Amino acid sequence: MADAFTAAGLPVSKSEVILGEGAFRNIGEYDVLVHLHADVETTVKVVVVAEA
């Protein structure tokens, strides 16, 4: 997941991305917690779609 954020121009490390539900195994929308600093965190919506 961190690689996808970095490729999109938002560099983060693996330790900053918290997947509450574990790895994505199905198509859908997921909320991912990104913990950037001790006092800074945000939730990012990730949409998983079928490959064309």
Task: Report H helices in 1-52.
Answer: 2-7
pLDDT of residue 20: 76
Confidence (pTM): 0.64
What contacts 5, CB < 8 A, 6 or more positions away? 11, 12, 17, 34, 44
Annotate 26-40 with b (16+ C-beta within 10 A) or e (fewer): eeeeeebebeeeeee
pLDDT of residue 29: 92
pLDDT of residue 27: 93
Please list the pLDDT of the chain residue by residue as tens digits (52 residues).
788 878 888 888 888 888 877 788 889 998 888 888 888 888 888 888 998 7
What's the farthest any 2 CA atoms get from each other in the chain?
Answer: 39
pLDDT of residue 38: 82
pLDDT of residue 16: 86
